[in-house]
Structure 1
Amino acid sequence: MADKIVLKSTRASRAVLLAMAAGALFGAASVSAAPIDAAKSTVITTSKQMSVAVDGKFKKFSGDVTFDPANPAAGSAKVNIDIGSYDIGSDEYNNTLKSAEWFDSAKYPQATFVSSSIAAAGPGKLTVKGKLTIKGKTNDVTVPLSYAVAGNTQTFDGVASIKRLAYGIGANEWKDTSVVADEVDIKFHLIVTK
C-alpha cells in the first residue's frame, strides 16, 4: 500500500514538474523579439568641439528587443547602426567623419550594441549592460534607461556615455581632446511594437 502511495506521489510530482516546465517554455516563447520601429525612433550623439555642444544623428539603424516588464532579466536587445548614415548637418563634415581618421565607415560600416544583462532599477527604470562595437573595437557599456508600455508599444529612452578614443574615433591630430572632447553621449529613443 505504501508503495502505491509513493508511486502516485511520484507521478503527481512529475505531472506538476512537467506542467511547470511547459508553462515556463510557452511563457518564454510568448515574449518574442520585436523589431525597433526606426521611423519613430532616434539615435543622436552629443559631443563637444571647442566646448560647444554638437549633435549628430544616425539616420539608419535597426534591431530588435525582447522585453517583459514582469521579467526584465529575461530580456535582450540588439541594435545595428549604419555608420555612413551619420549626419551633423553639413555634407562636408559628414564626409570628413566617414574618413579613416574618424569612423572609417568604408571599412567599418556598422556599429552594434548587444545586451548581456537587463536588470530592474526601480519603477519604469532599467540598467542594461552590454557590448558596444564601433570601428572594430568592442567595450563594455552600462546604460541606465527608462521604459514605458502602452498596449503593444514599448518605449525605451536612455543615454550611453562613451569615450571616443576608446573606439579609435579621431586619429592623429584629432586625438587632442582640448579640440574635440573625448566624452560622447549617445541618446536614444527606441519604440518597439509587438
Structure 2
Amino acid sequence: MECSWPGNNQLMQAYHDKEWCVPNTDDQYLFEMLTLEGAQVRLSWSIVLSRREAYQKAFHNFDISYCSTLTDKDLTNLQEQYNVIKHFSKLQSVRSNAQAVIKIQQEFESLSLFLWRYVDFKPIINHWHSEEEIPAQTPLSNEISKDLKKRGFKFIGPVTMYAFMQAIGMVDDHGTSCPYTSNKERKMKENGFH
C-alpha cells in the first residue's frame, strides 16, 4: 500500500515525504512536534500544518527555554498577533509542556533520551498492507501518554501520543509499497541511528 493520507495537499505531501516517520532526536524538533500534535486535537493535521510557520514565528522556533517563561499576557498577545490555533488552553500547554521538558532534560539529559528509551532506541517499523490496519493508539502510546501526564504534560492523550511517535520516527507506518519505505535505512543513518 502507498500512503494516501496526504492527498493532493502540497504541505501534507512534503511533510509525508521529508519528515513523517523519520527518526529524530533533536529536542527542539521533538518539542515542536509535541506542540503541533497537541494543537491538532479535534482538528485536522492539514489545518495545523498550514499554521506551522506562524507557530514557528510565535514561539521562536520552539525555543524551549523561551516558551517556558511565557506569561498568560504573552500568550494572549501571540493569540492575537499570529495565525495560531486560538484555543487558549492549547496555547497555555506550550508553556507548561516546555516547563515539563526542562525538568525531563535535567533528569534524563534530554527529552530525546527519555522518549527513545521506550523503544530501546530503535524505531518500530511496521509493515502495513492497508491504511485501515494502522492503529489510532497502542498500549505503548497509552503508557507514554500516562507517564507524560504524570510529569505535567497537557494535550498528550494516547491518540495524540501515537501521532507524535509517528511524527518523530519512533514508529514507522509507511505502507509496504510507499516509495518512502525504501528510504528507511538511509533516513535512520542521516539522523544518527545505525
Normalization by structure 2: what TM-score? 0.22
Larger fraction in strand: 1
Structure possessing the higher radius of gyration over alpha carbons: 1
